[in-house]
Chain A
Amino acid sequence: MALLCVLALVASACGKKATTSTGATPTGTASGGGSGAMPGVVGAIIKVGDLHSLSGTMAISEVAVKNAELLAIDEVNAAGGVLGKQLQVVTQDGASDWPTFAEKAKQLITVDKVATVFGGWTSASRKAMLPVFEQYKGLLWYPVQYEGLESSPDIYYTGATTNQQIIPGLEYLKAQGKTKLFLLGSDYVFPRTANKEIKAYAAANGMTIVDEQYTPLGSTEFGTLVNKIAADKPDAVFNTLNGDSNVAFFKQLKGAGITPQQMPVLSVSIAEQEVAGIGIQNVVGQLTAWNYYQTTSTPENAKFVAAYKAKYGADQTVDDPMEAGYTAVHLWAMAANKAGTTDVAAVRAAAAGLTYAAPEGTVTIDGATQHLYKTARIGVIQPDGLIKEVSSSPQPIKPDPYLKSYPWWKG
């Protein structure tokens, strides 16, 4: 019997990995083989890949990004496509499992021979895909804010790097007089790196870090952590939890009677999509740091929100990573049209300095780092589940993934 128990545990531990064999949902044509020199071009169509977690713990966030990318692809096709050819999407499921992302990325590049891939959410998934894209000379558009300290010639980062999100968040807290911070994150690369940067910033700016705590990804038990926060009495919590853990954290924080008025939580992974799942009443009044909100007032955003609701339903919300994914598709289409080919090196050369009027405002590709110039926006979660901007940077911030322009950062 003891053997059975062990088997049960082993099998459940392996559960995530084995999902790979059943979770894939390829929707593209099976006929592979790019004709001619241009990657992804098959006759009158161009194949592009879309690789997000459609199952598993990250599906909550990534399915919506996939939807926004598909919307952008529809728009590109409606506007005449790329190089006069229609885009066809090959969708793959990363299944919230990092090795699966690497495997599916390789499949998209080498078997489906797509022109480019839009995908990824967690830093772990990006780190898993990075060597694949570098080895096979593919091109990945990664749509989510991340911890910085990375710049690959085979990846375009359309979400924020730290100096466009985390540092503006810290500047906002400092301006509000919140100088005693409690750092809380999921135990993986993004929160750990982000917190290293936050600690360096705090040391140089007279802020104190009262504690730094990590919970396993997917953790649902926050009783002890809430007790620690209550005992440490910080001015604010800087929250880098990811996925479902946020739901449990905010429910249990509210259960302990800690209000945003007493001690706000600034989150960098909670956007409009996550608010509904956490429960609006559990997060109303809490702070977020992003580059885009559904309420951002630009003409392009009004068009984007209306188009998204028309395609997916009037009750849908959009958020920052979705906007970044949507923008990524348009940027790639512009770059490929400008280059006159889908060849990765030519697209890269054409992309440098490219400017696009995105829903978040004007973004520009920084050729050196392959990140975007983006406007930082701090918001407060409203009772209707949307986020209202309370502060923003005066102009788009130049991406600085290695924080070279910040003297307090020594790597």
Chain B
Amino acid sequence: MGNLLSQLFTGLGIGATLLLIALGLTFTFGQMNVINMAHGEFIMAGAYTAYMLQGSFGRETSLLVSLPVAFVIAGALGVALETVLIRRMYGRPLDTLLVTWGVSLMLQQLARDLFGAANVQVLSPSWLVGGVHVAGVDMPYARLFIMALVAAAVAGIWVYMAYLPQGRRMRAVMQNRQLAACSGIPTARVDRRTFFIGSGLAGVAGVALTQLGSIGPTLGTNYIVDAFLVVVVGGLGQIRGAIIAAIALGVLDAYVEWGTSASFAKVVVFVAIVAFLQARPQGLFVLKTRALT
């Protein structure tokens, strides 16, 4: 019983991590249909931001300071990529895929040149070391921090999309680009802003991941496939779909791995995704509009 609960917590922890890395992608991939292979490198940029800032802000606060800074840095990288390359390729998904993948390789090499090929470390603030023990379940603070962070990010996105005019414009462009443009919404500016937020969220994820995994030039490649999977299963552009997909995949992975092995759990998760997409190729949720396209 204790083990079942432990695994539930572990599954939720994996789910929260998956959701955090996928949140940014629900914007750029989900809303704008841009397959950005460099998304993982924005995560990496966030992790290196935390590494760079720990020198100037000290161990206890640098992680919190890093969150907004990484959001801006990764967001700026995203806007640069959107402005220089991606906007010239809207409607050409294959070209975008290849170009952004090339950018991803270049960013990895850039990180290698700037910070060295070896992994670097970010010291955990003392308030993230250890964990609490509740009802036989070990809850590491690092996991709880990621859960809280992802909850805050989701809440922030919800407020932005539902209540702020910029968020409403974003939804309008996503639902029907032509009509939105006819109504006087500057779609190019909205695209840029969407890309900023999506990429910035990747940077935030990168800061949080410094508490769980390695920080090196290839960090992003460890997460990019999982991020795409969550968005595809959840349904494009659907935050609630991504939430359910991330938690379901995390919990499934945790329980299957408990009974078998890590490799087998991965197989089961992939098979489950393929089977699910056979039955529901559009993902969990789908945007219903009256648009003809």
**Number of A residues contacting the other chain (C-beta, 8 Å)?**
55
**Number of B residues contacting the other chain (C-beta, 8 Å)?**
65
User: A4 to B225, Cβ gap below 8 A?
Assistant: no
Q: Residue of B at shortest CB range from A16?
A: B221
User: A255 to B140, Cβ gap below 8 A?
Assistant: yes
Q: Residue of B at shortest CB range from A243?
A: B214
User: B10 to A214, Cβ gap below 8 A?
Assistant: no
Q: Does B120 contact A (CB under 8 A)?
A: yes
Q: Does B224 contact A (CB under 8 A)?
A: yes
**CB within 8 A of A213: which of B98, B142, B143, B261?**
B261
Name the distance in Å between A312's Cβ and chain B's nearest Cβ. Answer: 11
Measured in the bound complex, the distance between the Cα atoms of B233 and A90 in whole Å is 47
> Which B residues are CB-close (under 8 A) to A15?
37, 101, 221
Measured in the bound complex, the distance between the Cα atoms of B26 and A253 in whole Å is 31
- Which residue of B33, B214, B217, B282 has the most chain A CB atoms within 10 A of its CB atom? B214
Q: Residue of B at shortest CB range from A252?
A: B212
User: B14 to A64, Cβ gap below 8 A?
Assistant: no
Total of A-B residue pairs, C-beta within 8 Å: 170
User: B143 to A223, Cβ gap below 8 A?
Assistant: yes
Which stretch of B105-113, B147-155, B182-190 is in the interface? B105-113
User: B17 to A63, Cβ gap below 8 A?
Assistant: no
Given contacts A214-B262, A224-B7, is CB(A8)–CB(B228) below 8 Å?
Answer: yes
User: A248 to B212, Cβ gap below 8 A?
Assistant: yes
Which stretch of A26-34, A275-283, A361-369 is in the interface? A275-283
> Which A residues are CB-close (under 8 A) to B138?
227, 230, 256-257
Q: Does B119 contact A (CB under 8 A)?
A: yes
Q: Residue of A at shortest CB range from B273?
A: A9
User: B222 to A22, Cβ gap below 8 A?
Assistant: no
Which stretch of A50-58, A333-341, A401-409 is in the interface? A50-58
Measured in the bound complex, the distance between the Cα atoms of B216 and A244 in whole Å is 9
> Which A residues are CB-close (under 8 A) to B211?
251, 255
For the complex of A and B, list the 5 residue pairs with the smallest distance between their C-beta atoms, beginning with the closest: A277-B119, A255-B140, A247-B214, A223-B10, A279-B121
Sample of 15 more A-B contacts, CB < 8 Å, known A59-B117, A279-B121:
A1-B282, A5-B232, A12-B37, A12-B228, A15-B37, A16-B221, A216-B266, A220-B212, A223-B143, A227-B138, A244-B222, A255-B143, A256-B140, A274-B119, A277-B121
Would you mind naming 16 contact pairs between A and B with Cβ atoms under 8 Å apart?
A2-B281, A4-B93, A7-B97, A11-B97, A11-B98, A64-B118, A187-B263, A215-B262, A215-B263, A224-B253, A224-B262, A225-B262, A247-B213, A251-B142, A255-B130, A255-B142
